[in-house]
Amino acid sequence: MRATKAVNRDSNRSNSVSAKDEELVFLPAYQLAQLIRDRQVSCQDVIKAHLAQIARHKQKLNAIVTLDEEGAQKQAKAANEALAKGNSWGALHGVPITIKDCLETKGLRTTSSYQPLADYIPEQDATAVARLRGAGAIVLGKTN
């Protein structure tokens, strides 16, 4: 894997975290996209590493307001299948992202930190989100 040395940013990290996972979560999007395109890493492994990172820091940071673990895993599987058939979804094919909670995400709760919207699930994506998805990015969830 052509990646920079991983930085241990959490001295209390779990022993179950592999060096590969640690590297994947700190790579810039362009490097991660290249590794995926070159099939040096699967989309599912990338999503798994990012979901594990979220789980490790969820309590301390409280940054994720809505997590779409199941949806992200399904998208990662579909992304791998597309690559296997020679299809690319775009420059961000399989790259995980989170979306600021003030932007609408189709089928994923969007609260904008406003209590009356606590259960609001948009029927369409905001333009920026649609463009990211159109470029192949996989939405993990929503952030504060």
pLDDT per position as a tens digit, 1-59: 444 433 344 434 444 557 777 899 999 999 999 999 999 999 999 999 999 999 999 99
pTM of the model as a whole: 0.85
How far from 68 is each of 11, 54, 88, 96, 112, CA to CA, in Å? 27, 12, 23, 11, 17
How far from 129 is each of 78, 85, 132, 136, CA to CA, in Å? 19, 26, 5, 11
Residue 2 domain-assigned (yes or no): no
Asked if 29 contacts 92 with a C-beta cutoff of 8 angstroms, the reply is yes
Q: How many domains are there within the chain?
A: 1
Integer Cα distance of 104 and 56 in angstroms? 26
Which residue range is the domain that position 40 belongs to?
A: 19-143
pLDDT per position as a tens digit, 104-130: 999 999 999 999 999 999 999 999 999
pLDDT per position as a tens digit, 60-109: 999 999 999 999 999 999 999 999 999 999 999 999 999 999 999 999 99
Integer Cα distance of 84 and 65 in angstroms? 33
Residue 13 domain-assigned (yes or no): no
Residue 102 domain-assigned (yes or no): yes
Residue 83 domain-assigned (yes or no): yes
